[in-house]
């Protein structure tokens, strides 16, 4: 057998990487087969730098990456650009394209590592890309600084200015957002994105009429579903009639008949009116049935599973409220859960439906699953507490609670406390209702007794009974909750009004507002006063050199708003914690009326919310207010980057 003569190996040229991430990248790339599937007898790095074959290979890889990015295949684009960068490790344009692909793929840290040096060299495209990565990764303050550098290098970049305005809106820097949007609209008066963002700014500032004016200025060929949803928001906030809002939905559905989001939002709008208009509830049911019927003539041609699931859940809730058969309601919830099996709203609805049918064990199973899926959903804790209270077997209750503790060891204590509060509040509400019923019965007895005394000639006794009747009537009117005058308002606007009403010294308030806060349908003056009471109490409890922290965010997928006001005071003693909301209780504050927290709680509860306190001796103390969000709301309009031309170095 003849020996095969071995060829002498050629020396491979050494390539020095320009930045640290390339060292690992080059080692990995040498171990991979080429992207076209063919095996080479030599590694790619053995070819002579600058050869025509290498240049063509690099351009082919870059073109492949561009196609993959256009097709939302960012992971594959990253791989292609890593291969290209091994062939040309000093190529700035490839490094920038790789950082962009990593950003699109959600690998923010790696993207920042690749773009960092280019941004330091005042590369315009790199500075803009760095700002975008920081904004998407939640580093808003650093993103605004990066946008400032990008705009210094690219003063005419409308994209950079628009994106900075969006970040400023999300962080509550309304002055910066206003400045950028005015500059944009001065040069681009018909920019649909700038008009939409300025409309959002007007709504945050409580000027819905100006928001409507901006939205109706958007040219028809640039209108999007987001714009119609925002117009609905603005008309809600302006207090316009349901008919005017209904007309917006009809125009939007005519413009985008295949988009299920408008159909679902329209159904939610109609459902929200059912308390005052029974026909609106029936229209909502009909619209949802048509939305879910694939054979219906006016049904959207395509629906996402999420939209279809939410439509099922809303239809089930309307049917249950109307008194439909439990089996029909249960079927709708189960069909929705087939599309969205982890949806806490659907699991809670099914659990409540089963509880109404006295299927307590199955109900607890679904309600516990809903808690595990979304422990921040306030109503599901109440439902679980109600279901556990219906179980007479203490051992079974311990088993269910044991599952909760084992599945969520960190959150379980807080959830258990919440359930105890829910049970306590349910008992108090039931007792209050019993008292009101008995009080009305006594009032009727007084009226009858006074009438009999007058008929029997006992004038003085009749007068005493009449006086007692009037006193009792005034007492009952004090028990009766005052009906609020609800209007739609932005959550951020309400809390800013409350802070301004308290007017603290500078730097005594740390305000954290989450992006895309929902709208609230509330009695604004009463709600602002309630928030102001919480802030005022926190300022009084905190030392002058320690700030009060206010955090506002949406929970439960935007269905609830959570306000947390945290002081730096000495805390509340255990014995006083249960009395803190009692009328007249002041916890030793000289000159205090003891009404602020009591009134705040009444206002929040009257609007479907709740107010709780978390504290311990030594502090700090946090008051947490939860308020249901308005159903017909849309998030901050999305920012679509149609071109990346400014990224070129």
| Mean pLDDT of the residues in the chain | 77
* 195 touches 637 (CB < 8 A): no
- Is pLDDT above 80 for 226? yes
571 three-state secondary structure: coil
Report the pLDDT value the prediction gives residue 39, as an integer from 0 to 100.
41
- Is pLDDT above 90 for 332? yes
The listed range with the strongest mean pLDDT (96-100, 261-265, 345-349) is: 345-349
| Adjacent-strand bridge partners of 612 | 624
* 507 touches 477 (CB < 8 A): no
| Adjacent-strand bridge partners of 512 | 551
Report the pLDDT value the prediction gives residue 632, as an integer from 0 to 100.
41
Instruction: Give me the residue label for tokens 């209050």.
Output: 432
Number of helical H runs and strand E runs in the chain = 27, 7
Report the pLDDT value the prediction gives residue 312, as an integer from 0 to 100.
93
Report the pLDDT value the prediction gives residue 319, as an integer from 0 to 100.
92
- Is pLDDT above 50 for 19? no
- Is pLDDT above 50 for 45? no
- Tell me the two tokens of residue 120: 């330091």
Residues 6+ apart with CB under 8 A from 258: 300, 301, 302
| Residue with the larger pLDDT of the pair 572 and 639 | 572
2 three-state secondary structure: coil
Report the pLDDT value the prediction gives residue 546, as an integer from 0 to 100.
85
Report the pLDDT value the prediction gives residue 229, as an integer from 0 to 100.
87
Tens digits of per-residue pLDDT, 608-618? 788 888 877 77
Containing H/E element for 623? strand 621-628
Report the pLDDT value the prediction gives residue 439, as an integer from 0 to 100.
61
Backbone angles phi, psi at 329, to 5 degrees: -65, -45
% pLDDT > 90, the chain: 13
Report the pLDDT value the prediction gives residue 382, as an integer from 0 to 100.
78
Report the pLDDT value the prediction gives residue 87, as an integer from 0 to 100.
86
Report the pLDDT value the prediction gives residue 481, as an integer from 0 to 100.
47
Global pTM reads 0.66
Tens digits of per-residue pLDDT, 410-468? 666 666 666 666 655 555 555 555 555 666 666 667 677 777 777 877 878 878 777 77
- Is pLDDT above 80 for 223? yes
Give the lowest-confidence range in 93-97, 203-207, 543-547. 203-207
Report the pLDDT value the prediction gives residue 414, as an integer from 0 to 100.
65
233 three-state secondary structure: helix
| Residue with the larger pLDDT of the pair 116 and 112 | 112
* 568 touches 619 (CB < 8 A): yes
- Is pLDDT above 80 for 275? no
Query: Per-residue pLDDT averaged across 383-397, rounded?
Result: 82
Report the pLDDT value the prediction gives residue 217, as an integer from 0 to 100.
92
Tens digits of per-residue pLDDT, 466-511? 777 776 665 555 545 444 456 777 788 888 888 888 877 767 888 8
Instruction: Give me the residue label for tokens 């958007």.
Output: 218
Report the pLDDT value the prediction gives residue 121, as an integer from 0 to 100.
74
Report the pLDDT value the prediction gives residue 475, as an integer from 0 to 100.
57
Rounded CA-CA distance 116/130 in Å is 7
Indicate the pLDDT class of residue 23, thresholds 50, 70 and 90: very low
Report the pLDDT value the prediction gives residue 537, as an integer from 0 to 100.
87
Query: Per-residue pLDDT averaged across 597-609, rounded?
Result: 82
Rg from Cα positions in the chain: 32
Rounded CA-CA distance 236/243 in Å is 11
- Is pLDDT above 70 for 157? yes
Query: Per-residue pLDDT averaged across 249-273, rounded?
Result: 87
Report the pLDDT value the prediction gives residue 473, as an integer from 0 to 100.
65
% pLDDT > 70, the chain: 76
| Residue with the larger pLDDT of the pair 578 and 72 | 72
Backbone angles phi, psi at 500, to 5 degrees: -65, -35
């Amino acid at each position: 057998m003849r020996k095969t003569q071995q060829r002498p190996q050629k020396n491979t040229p050494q390539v020095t990487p320009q930045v640290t991430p390339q060292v690992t990248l080059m080692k990995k790339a040498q171990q991979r087969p080429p992207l076209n599937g063919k095996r080479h007898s030599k590694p790619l790095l053995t070819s002579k730098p600058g050869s025509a074959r290498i240049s063509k290979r690099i351009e082919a890889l870059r073109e492949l990456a561009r196609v993959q990015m256009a097709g939302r295949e960012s992971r594959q684009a990253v791989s292609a650009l890593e291969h290209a960068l091994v062939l040309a490790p000093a190529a700035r344009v490839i490094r920038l394209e790789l950082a962009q692909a990593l950003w699109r793929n959600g690998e923010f840290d790696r993207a920042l590592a690749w773009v960092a040096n280019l941004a330091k060299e005042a590369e315009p495209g790199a500075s803009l890309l760095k700002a975008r990565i920081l904004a998407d990764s939640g580093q808003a303050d650093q993103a605004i600084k990066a946008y400032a550098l990008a705009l210094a290098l690219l003063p005419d970049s409308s994209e950079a200015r628009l994106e900075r305005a969006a970040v400023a809106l999300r962080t509550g820097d309304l002055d910066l957002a206003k400045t950028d949007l005015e500059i944009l609209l001065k040069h681009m008066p018909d920019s649909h994105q700038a008009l939409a963002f300025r409309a959002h700014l007007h709504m945050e500032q409580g000027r819905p009429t100006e928001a409507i004016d901006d939205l109706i200025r958007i040219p028809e060929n640039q209108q999007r579903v987001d714009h119609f949803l925002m117009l609905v928001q603005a008309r809600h906030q302006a207090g316009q009639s349901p008919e005017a809002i209904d007309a917006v939905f009809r125009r939007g559905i005519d413009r985008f008949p295949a988009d299920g989001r408008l159909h679902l939002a329209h159904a939610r709008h109609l459902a929200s009116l059912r308390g005052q208009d029974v026909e609106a509830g029936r229209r909502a049911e009909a619209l949802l049935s048509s939305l879910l019927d694939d054979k219906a003539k006016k049904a959207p041609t395509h629906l996402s599973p999420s939209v279809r699931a939410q439509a099922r859940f809303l239809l089930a809730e309307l049917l249950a409220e109307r008194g439909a058969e439990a089996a029909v309601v249960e079927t709708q919830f189960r069909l929705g859960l087939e599309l969205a099996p982890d949806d806490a709203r659907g699991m809670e609805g099914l659990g409540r439906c089963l509880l109404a049918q006295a299927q307590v064990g199955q109900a607890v199973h679904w309600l516990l699953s809903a808690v595990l899926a979304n422990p921040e959903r306030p109503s599901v804790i109440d439902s679980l507490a109600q279901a556990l209270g219906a179980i007479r077997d203490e051992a079974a209750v311990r088993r269910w609670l044991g599952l909760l503790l084992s599945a969520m060891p960190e959150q379980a204590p807080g959830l258990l406390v919440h359930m105890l509060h829910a049970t306590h509040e349910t008992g108090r509400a039931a007792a209050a209702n019993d008292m009101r019923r008995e009080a009305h019965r006594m009032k009727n007895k007084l009226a009858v007794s006074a009438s009999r005394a007058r008929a029997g000639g006992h004038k003085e006794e009749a007068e005493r009974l009449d006086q007692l009747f009037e006193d009792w009537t005034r007492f009952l009117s004090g028990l009766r909750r005052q009906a609020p005058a609800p209007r739609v308002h932005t959550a951020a606007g309400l809390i800013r009004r409350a802070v301004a009403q308290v007017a603290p010294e500078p730097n005594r308030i740390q305000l954290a507002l989450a992006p895309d806060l929902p709208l609230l349908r509330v009695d604004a003056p009463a709600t602002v006063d309630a928030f102001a009471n919480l802030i005022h109490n926190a300022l009084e409890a905190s030392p002058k050199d320690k700030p009060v922290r206010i955090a506002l965010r949406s929970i439960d997928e935007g269905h609830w708003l959570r306000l947390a006001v945290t002081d730096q005071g000495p805390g509340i003693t255990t014995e006083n914690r249960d009395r803190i909301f009692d009328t007249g209780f002041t916890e030793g504050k000289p000159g205090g009326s003891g009404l602020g927290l009591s009134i705040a709680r009444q206002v929040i509860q009257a609007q479907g919310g709740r107010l709780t306190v978390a504290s311990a001796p030594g502090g700090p103390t946090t008051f947490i207010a939860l308020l249901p969000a308005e159903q017909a709301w849309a998030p901050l309009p999305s920012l679509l980057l149609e071109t990346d031309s400014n990224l070129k170095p």
